[in-house]
């Protein structure tokens, strides 16, 4: 399945070098999101994470 999605080196994909990983703190409102996730964990709320790989 990885080859179908254009991934040539599965090990490099699963263990990327630090220079190709973006800084999550560049995302808008990441501090508010982190605070909300921590609150949800402390309150034992159900957390759903979704994403779009595009």
Whether 34 maps to a domain, the answer reads yes
**Cα 24 to Cα 21: distance, rounded to the nearest angstrom:** 9
- Using alpha carbons, select from 52, 49, 53 the residue that is nearest to residue 33: 49
**Whole domain around residue 39: which residue ranges?**
23-49
Residue 53's pLDDT is 67
Whether 35 maps to a domain, the answer reads yes
Structure tokens that stand for 1 in this block:
């399945």
**Cα 30 to Cα 35: distance, rounded to the nearest angstrom:** 9
Whether 9 maps to a domain, the answer reads no
Residues contacting residue 30 through CB under 8 Å, at least 6 positions apart? 24
Whether 27 maps to a domain, the answer reads yes
Whether 38 maps to a domain, the answer reads yes
Whether 40 maps to a domain, the answer reads yes
Q: What tens digit of pLDDT does each residue of 30-49 get?
A: 899 899 999 999 999 999 98
Which pTM does this prediction carry?
0.52
Whether 10 maps to a domain, the answer reads no
Report CA torsion sign: 50, 41, 25, 7: negative
């Amino acid at each position: 399945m990885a080859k179908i999605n254009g991934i040539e080196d599965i090990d490099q994909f699963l263990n990327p070098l630090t220079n190709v990983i973006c800084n999550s703190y560049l995302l808008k409102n990441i501090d508010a999101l982190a605070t909300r996730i921590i609150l949800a964990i402390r309150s034992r709320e159900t957390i759903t994470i979704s994403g779009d790989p595009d």
